[in-house]
């Protein structure tokens, strides 16, 4: 269709102009997202983390994401205070890190976040009183092993989950933050969950996602509260990563190993106050966003949770059969 000199596109009927405009805006937005994605996940370099201070406190460094992040931070020359519940695992991880990076300084603090939180944080306060803490990584977390309906789980499990995922990061932050306020620099990185962004609900993981929703809101408010103190608060929201928290998962395009994930997570520290650190998780969320209505996502996520539940029940049955 040709447009003559005295006839502009906008003088055409609306049913021709509107789809063309929508197409144009959508294409521009799509191209912009690709550029942004390439910059954030491929080009953008990591920050110099030592500017916050030479030491990092990291919770849950004995397995999964936390362990991989501890290694990654050690490789960047940071000293570590490892906070975990299991003294043997803490000792083993310390030896492994020290073997790879002999120049690193390490301290360990034993706290069971579902048990001796208050006595434990007193030990943490003592352990960090003479060092320059630049960063805190609130990573320790628990979930139920398999997707379950709320009424199927006992109150002790719920209480532990709330203590480890919600109370512990709150209290640990309150212990570490005053050092940062005094120096007017520092960073707190909270590990949230993708279940609190893009998807409207996460059925069969209701309390887990509830605790991570708290972490997201706590981080946003603390970020606004402390940015004028030179303290940066960030909530990182991973989707699935292959760890003890996700039994049965195997690494794939959308599911990284802890080391793959940790490399991206450490590189993102100091940028957006809430972000998806891993590139294919971002693509996964972009796909969710294409869904035209929330109730459809609700249905899809419920179906996915029920499928995982069925598969894990099958696995458990097979295991019992093999043992008997």
Ligand X SMILES: NC(=O)c1ccc[n+]([C@@H]2O[C@H](COP(=O)([O-])OP(=O)(O)OC[C@H]3O[C@@H](n4cnc5c(N)ncnc54)[C@H](OP(=O)(O)O)[C@@H]3O)[C@@H](O)[C@H]2O)c1
> Is 243 a binder of ligand X (CB under 6 A)?
yes
> Is 66 a binder of ligand X (CB under 6 A)?
yes
Kindly state the number of chain residues that form the binding site for ligand X, as judged by CB under 6 A. Answer: 29
Nearest to 118 by CA among 167, 62, 181, 178: 167
> Is 244 a binder of ligand X (CB under 6 A)?
yes
The verdict on whether 278 is a catalytic residue reads: no
Closest to ligand X by CB, 179 or 197: 197
> Is 281 a binder of ligand X (CB under 6 A)?
no
> Is 235 a binder of ligand X (CB under 6 A)?
no
Question: Is-contact 209 249, C-beta < 8 A?
Answer: no
> Is 65 a binder of ligand X (CB under 6 A)?
yes
Contact pick of 245, 266, 269, 301 for ligand X (by CB under 6 A):
245
Question: Is-contact 57 78, C-beta < 8 A?
Answer: no
x-marked contacts with ligand X along 87-126 as a string, rule CB under 6 A = --x---------------------xxxx------------
Buried b (16+ CB within 10 A) or exposed e, 183-194: bebbbbbbbbbb
Contact pick of 40, 52, 58, 62 for ligand X (by CB under 6 A):
62
Nearest to 51 by CA among 70, 33, 77: 77
Quote the CA–CA distance of 201 and 46 in Å, as a whole number. Answer: 32
Contact pick of 53, 60, 186, 203 for ligand X (by CB under 6 A):
60
Contact pick of 246, 259, 273, 312 for ligand X (by CB under 6 A):
246
Question: Is-contact 110 81, C-beta < 8 A?
Answer: no
Angle, helix 168-183 to helix 206-226, in steps of 10 degrees = 10
Segment contacting ligand X by CB under 6 A, of 28-36, 72-80, 218-226, 238-246: 238-246
Radius of gyration of the chain (CA): 23
Contact pick of 241, 265, 268, 301 for ligand X (by CB under 6 A):
241
N-term to C-term CA, the chain? 75
DSSP structural state of residue 163: I
Segment contacting ligand X by CB under 6 A, of 5-13, 62-70, 175-183, 300-308: 62-70
Residue 56 β-bridge partners: 80, 135
Number of residues in the chain? 324
> Is 234 a binder of ligand X (CB under 6 A)?
no
Contact pick of 64, 147, 203, 277 for ligand X (by CB under 6 A):
64
Quote the CA–CA distance of 143 and 207 in Å, as a whole number. Answer: 9
Contact pick of 56, 71, 84, 137 for ligand X (by CB under 6 A):
84
Q: Considering 52, 205, 208, 226, which one is annotated as catalytic?
A: 208
x-marked contacts with ligand X along 130-169 as a string, rule CB under 6 A = ---------xxxx---------------------x-----
Question: Is-contact 69 137, C-beta < 8 A?
Answer: yes
Question: Is-contact 274 216, C-beta < 8 A?
Answer: yes
Active site residues: 208
Residues of this chain that bind ligand X (CB under 6 A): 60, 62-66, 84-86, 89, 111-114, 139-142, 164, 191, 193-194, 238, 240-241, 243-246
């Amino acid at each position: 269709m040709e447009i003559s000199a005295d006839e502009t596109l906008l003088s055409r009927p609306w049913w021709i102009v509107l789809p063309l405009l929508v197409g144009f805006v959508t294409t521009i937005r799509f191209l912009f997202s690709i550029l942004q994605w390439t910059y954030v996940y491929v080009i953008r370099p990591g920050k110099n983390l030592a500017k916050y201070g030479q030491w990092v406190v990291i919770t849950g460094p004995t397995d999964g994401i936390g362990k991989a992040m501890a290694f990654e931070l050690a490789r960047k020359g940071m000293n570590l205070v490892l906070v975990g519940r299991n003294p043997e695992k803490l000792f083993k991880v310390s030896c492994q890190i020290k073997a790879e990076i002999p120049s690193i300084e390490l301290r360990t603090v034993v706290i069971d976040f579902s048990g001796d939180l208050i006595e434990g944080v007193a030990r943490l306060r003592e352990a960090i009183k003479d060092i320059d803490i630049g960063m805190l990584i609130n990573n320790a977390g628990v979930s139920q092993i398999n997707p379950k309906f709320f009424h199927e789980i006992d109150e002790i499990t719920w209480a532990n989950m709330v203590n480890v995922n919600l109370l512990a990061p709150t209290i640990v932050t309150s212990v570490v933050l005053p050092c940062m306020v005094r120096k007017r620099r520092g960073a707190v990185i909270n590990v949230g969950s993708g279940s609190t962004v893009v998807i409207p609900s996460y059925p069969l993981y209701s309390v887990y996602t509830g605790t991570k929703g708290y972490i997201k809101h706590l981080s946003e408010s603390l970020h606004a509260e402390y940015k004028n103190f030179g303290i940066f608060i960030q909530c990182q929201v991973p989707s699935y990563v292959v760890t003890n928290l996700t039994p049965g998962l195997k690494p794939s395009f959308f599911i990284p190993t802890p080391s793959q994930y940790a490399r991206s997570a450490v590189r993102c520290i100091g940028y957006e106050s809430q972000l998806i650190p891993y590139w294919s998780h971002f693509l996964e969320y972009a796909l969710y966003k294409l869904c035209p209505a929330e109730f459809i996502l609700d249905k899809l996520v419920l179906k996915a949770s029920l499928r995982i539940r069925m598969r894990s029940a099958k696995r458990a049955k097979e295991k019992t059969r093999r043992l008997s």
